[in-house]
Amino acid sequence: MGQVMGIGLTHAPHFQFPDENMADLLKFRLRNPDTPAAMKDPANWPEPMRREWGDDEGLAAARAHRAELVRGFREAREALEEFAPDIVLIWGDDQYENFKEDLVPPFCVYGLGDLDCHFFEQTYATTATTNVWNEPTDAVTRIRSDVDAANLFAAGLMGKGFDVSYSYKLHHAAGLSHAFVRTMLYLDYDRKGWPWPVVPFHVNCYGSDLTAPDFIADGRSVVRTEQEFPRPPAPSPWRCYDLGKAVAELAEASPWRVAVIGSSSWSHAFLTKKFPAGHADVAADRALLEDLRAGQQHVWRDLDLETLRAAGQHEFLNWVCLAGAMEGRKAEVLSYGESYIFNSDKCVAVFR
């Protein structure tokens, strides 16, 4: 019989790049001619946001934010090594990278075989030209993706009534989307290597907002034309939770030790429209954190999708999958980085 452990963490770009670039997304908004003038004046920001910004445009806060999260990455890596998985399954989202207008599945299990990953590619989210490891941006890392495990999970989920998609090759993207790549990168923050076969498991977290505005270098954005009827939504939280629970059942019935990972930050400033100053929904994330610390993450099954969307918590559906897989267990919260200026609140947790 198999065994299962769980990890939740972020794949935010901030920790890949120097501290000086951690507030770049906010700086993009401040330079954007379309940003209301009131939002550009720190005097109109919430007091915690002004405190983070300080007199150094967030540099000291960036160092503290990194220290908090990297500590969690390292402890999660230790837990992963101690568990010694045969397979690592990662729930991650796609941000208009591999799935575009021609195909948008709610879920997709990848059985890709060995593939080359570009861990250090640049991103629109920063102006940085270097990463904190001083690795060349075109460096290639070969990882193993287990096709047999992907087949087992896809077929097993279909047998349980989940009509998931599966794919043996990438569709539009040249490599795995950053949700998967940065998950592995941050769990290898000290660059010891990534020895475990992976099963990337796509969740369409962005739903109706999948084709969100594309940021470009001058801080402006390209807004896509809306259709008369809204685009289809993301899968419901209850469906994600039940799918995660089914994955754990399949893993426990398998011959493998399986680590399941839900990868995302929580509320995102660029996704919630609730705050004129443009920051994450800190209060909504604190409520989720309280659930997690109390071992009550089963209540996430009953979360309302539109409420998540309003809070900019789209990607949290990856954690809801994890919660279903870890039903009945209590998480150890390793680190929590709350932030008004670094785009999102971020958590690292382990279910042993």
| CATH number of residue 64's parent domain | 3.40.830.10
| DSSP for residue 221 | E
Q: Is residue 289 part of a domain?
A: yes
Pick from 121, 126, 89: which is nearest to 108 by CA? Answer: 89
Host domain of residue 77 = 3-344
Q: Is residue 160 part of a domain?
A: yes
Pairing mode, if any, of strands 346-351 and 221-222? unpaired
pLDDT (tens digit per residue) in 239-264: 999 999 999 999 999 999 999 999 99
Tokens 């939740």 identify what position?
8
Tokens 């084709």 identify what position?
211
Q: How confident is the model over 201-224, as a mean pLDDT?
A: 65
Q: Is residue 53 part of a domain?
A: yes
Q: What is the pLDDT of residue 229?
A: 66
Q: Is residue 104 part of a domain?
A: yes
Q: How far apart are CA 126 and CA 159, in angstroms?
A: 43
Region class of 38: left (phi > 0), else alpha (psi between -120 and 50), else beta: alpha
How many domains would you assign to the chain? 1
DSSP string, 171-218: SS-SS--HHHHHHHHHTTTT-----S-EEEEEE-TTGGGTTPPEE-TT
pLDDT (tens digit per residue) in 10-36: 999 999 999 999 999 999 888 888 888
Q: Decide if pLDDT at 185 tops 70.
A: yes
Q: How far apart are CA 23 and CA 105, in angstroms?
A: 33
Q: Find the radius of gyration of the CA atoms of the chain.
A: 19
Q: Is residue 351 part of a domain?
A: no
Q: How far apart are CA 30 and CA 35, in angstroms?
A: 7
Pairing mode, if any, of strands 141-143 and 165-167? unpaired
Q: Decide if pLDDT at 334 tops 70.
A: yes
pTM above 0.85, yes or no: yes
Q: Is residue 317 part of a domain?
A: yes
pLDDT (tens digit per residue) in 128-149: 889 999 999 889 889 999 999 9
Q: How confident is the model over 276-294, as a mean pLDDT?
A: 95
Q: Decide if pLDDT at 341 tops 50.
A: yes
Q: Is residue 35 part of a domain?
A: yes
Q: pLDDT grade, residue 350 (50/70/90)?
A: very high
